[in-house]
């Protein structure tokens, strides 16, 4: 199977985000640990002519918290569910950040971690993850970045492959 055009660019961006460990702190002695959800800022994602690129370059990590004891698959599940829930604050929206999450009917079915690979299975019975190429690219990189922030994750796969199609 040949990867879709732009797949390597998106994966490189996700690896960069993961390597930078954006928005993820080690568990504290408190009852929560910091993770991130990802919003989109089109102003950060333009070429020299001002065209929006619809890429991971426009992602902005937004700090959120989860239970301190979560690690591995339970942490992956919590982070992806938080991303799917959306929930930008008024301040974040005032800064021009956007997300189309939550999408009605889109939910996490399963989340697995094995050998550095995070596999995210989603249900989308109403086909809310389809649409224009720019829109679906941004939705996909948001979910992938949420999973890629976990320590040890080197590859993210979202299933079924029919999701996030223009």
List the Cα angle 23/24/26 in 5-degree steps: 145
Burial (CB count <10 Å: 0-12, 13-18, 19+), residue 122: buried
Mean pLDDT of the 71-81 span: 98
Sorting pLDDT into bands at 50, 70 and 90, what band is 11? very low
Does the pTM surpass 0.85? The reply is: no
Higher-pLDDT residue of 9, 86: 86
What does the pLDDT read at residue 47?
96
Mean pLDDT of the 123-136 span: 97
Sorting pLDDT into bands at 50, 70 and 90, what band is 30? low
Give the chain's end-to-end CA distance (angstroms, integer): 19
């Amino acid at each position: 199977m040949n990867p879709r055009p732009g797949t390597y660019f998106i994966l490189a961006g996700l690896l960069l985000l993961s390597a930078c460990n954006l928005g993820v702190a080690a568990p504290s002695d408190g009852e929560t640990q910091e993770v991130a959800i990802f919003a989109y800022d089109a102003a950060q994602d333009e070429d020299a002519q001002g065209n929006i690129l619809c890429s991971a370059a426009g992602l902005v990590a937004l700090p959120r918290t989860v239970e301190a004891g979560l690690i591995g698959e339970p942490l992956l599940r919590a982070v992806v569910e938080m991303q799917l829930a959306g929930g930008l604050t008024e301040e974040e929206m005032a800064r021009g950040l956007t997300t189309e999450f939550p999408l009605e009917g889109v939910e996490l079915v399963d989340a697995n971690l094995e050998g550095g690979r995070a596999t995210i299975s989603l249900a989308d019975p109403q086909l809310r993850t389809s649409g224009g190429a720019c829109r679906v690219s941004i939705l996909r990189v948001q979910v992938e970045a949420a999973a890629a922030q976990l320590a040890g994750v080197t590859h993210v796969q979202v299933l079924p492959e029919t999701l996030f199609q223009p």
